Amino acid sequence: MGRAARDAATVLRTASADQRSQAIQAMARHVRARANEILAANAEDVAGATAMVDRLMLNDERLEAIAIALEQVAALPDPVGQVMARWLRPNGLDISRVRTPIGVIGMIYESRPNVTADAAAICIRSGNAIILRSGSEALRSALAIHGALAEGLKEAGLPEAAVQIVPTADRAAVGMMLEGLGGAIDLIIPRGGRALVERVSQEARVPVLGHLEGVCHTYVHASAEPDMAAEVVRNAKLRRTSVCGSTETLLIDRSVAPSLLPQIAEVLEGCELRGDKESQAIVPMAAASEADWHAEYLAPILAVKAVNGIDEAIAHIARYGTGHTEAIVAEDEQAAEHFLDRVDSAIVIWNASTQFADGGEFGFGAEIGIATGRLHVRGPVGPEQLTTFKYQVRGSGQIRP
């Protein structure tokens, strides 16, 4: 698989943008054409599942959403060959920094079947070959979807090995991928729970684009407009509780907590609150333990803490945050800019919901996760983020003195 992927990557690197678009469009057609087969495979997966059945289950509507997502990626601007910068040196050398594919991506993921199609499409859009390793719960679905993707590649004249999938749920395959398949994998992208991410960071011998948990914070500053604060917190927590950009901890300035916390609590209907002593004294709620400040609930639960001003909020985020997304609600521009400057997360937001942490919302068209590490990129990972670059230097016989 490693050798085949490397060979496919060489073809992809120089395939035209149009040919890669056509391949992704053909993938969408074949996903639709094989709907019965894919849904039957998915039904088997669902029958065998013990948990997270909703994440796993496909139906006509969800399968159509997968096909539409493929078409959207096919229509995205192609990053390969983009000139990121170009400058002329005093000696006449003309230097360009040009985007190129990374090469071969290894994607290790758990139970969402749509990841199979999304990740493949984003890799083809960015000129990369991909080796997919689905979790066992979704393996039949992933194999059926992969069959459709391979047909699409074939139809567009691209090597089928551009998108490969590990055909078994054998955990040893993950180990081999983390070793890099003998130099064939350039980058591993894990998407899954804490156990997977920890295994990857322990064992990987190749670079990893990590997608840690999102312990995201919304901080309500003393200057916040109360109605905006309530609306933003509600959306950040409750719009969808299962996404990584949902807020897990509310920090609120001590000075405004007595008036504002009750208003916020009122709009958080159906949400369990767990607070520090001060918050508990204002609104009846359960006591938060140390574990709550670290928790990625992905559920209608919110940890609440009163803080003594912006620097205590920033310090709390530095200690408990995972570098994903944090927001401040404030009318005081100076305070907001201080927060945007000092908080060292992939995404920092002023006066908007943390649920905007999403490649689509950023205008990237598609994403396969939010990178929470510091290298190679941070934040939403779309096609552009799966590129690297090279320098092209054009001269007229220059020699170096």
Contact assessment for residue 208 and residue 201, using Cβ atoms and an 8 Å cutoff: yes
Residue 398 contacts a copy of itself per CB under 8 A: yes
Q: Is the dihedral of CA 326, 332, 338, 341 positive or negative?
A: positive
Read off the tokens for 370. Answer: 């939010």
**Applying CB under 8 A, what is the total number of residues that bind a copy of itself?**
65
Read off the tokens for 3. Answer: 């050798």
Contact assessment for residue 130 and residue 8, using Cβ atoms and an 8 Å cutoff: no
Residue 3 CA to its chain's centroid (Å): 28
Residue 299 contacts a copy of itself per CB under 8 A: no
Residue 347 contacts a copy of itself per CB under 8 A: yes
- Considering just the CA atoms, what is the radius of gyration of the chain in Å? 23
Read off the tokens for 118. Answer: 């999304």
Contact positions with a copy of itself (CB under 8 A) in 236-275: 236, 239
From 24, 102, 145, 244, residue interacting with a copy of itself (rule: CB under 8 A): 102
Contact assessment for residue 66 and residue 145, using Cβ atoms and an 8 Å cutoff: yes
From 152, 214, 369, 379, residue interacting with a copy of itself (rule: CB under 8 A): 379
Residue 294 contacts a copy of itself per CB under 8 A: no
Q: Distance between CA atoms of 228 and 264, rounded to whole angstroms?
A: 10
Residue 62 contacts a copy of itself per CB under 8 A: no
Residue 155 or 356: the one with the smaller Cβ distance to a copy of itself is 356
Contact assessment for residue 217 and residue 198, using Cβ atoms and an 8 Å cutoff: no
Which stretch, 31-39, 160-168, 285-293, 335-343, contacts a copy of itself (CB under 8 A)? 335-343
Residue 298 contacts a copy of itself per CB under 8 A: no
Which stretch, 58-66, 214-222, 277-285, 353-361, contacts a copy of itself (CB under 8 A)? 353-361
From 232, 257, 261, 288, residue interacting with a copy of itself (rule: CB under 8 A): 232
CA geometry: angle at 154 spanning 70 and 183, to 5°?
85
Read off the tokens for 75. Answer: 């229509």
Q: Interface with a copy of itself by CB under 8 A: which residues? A: 10, 13-14, 87, 89, 93, 95, 100, 102-103, 186-187, 201-202, 205, 207, 225, 228, 231-232, 234-236, 239, 318, 336, 340-342, 344-353, 355-356, 358, 361-363, 373-379, 388-400
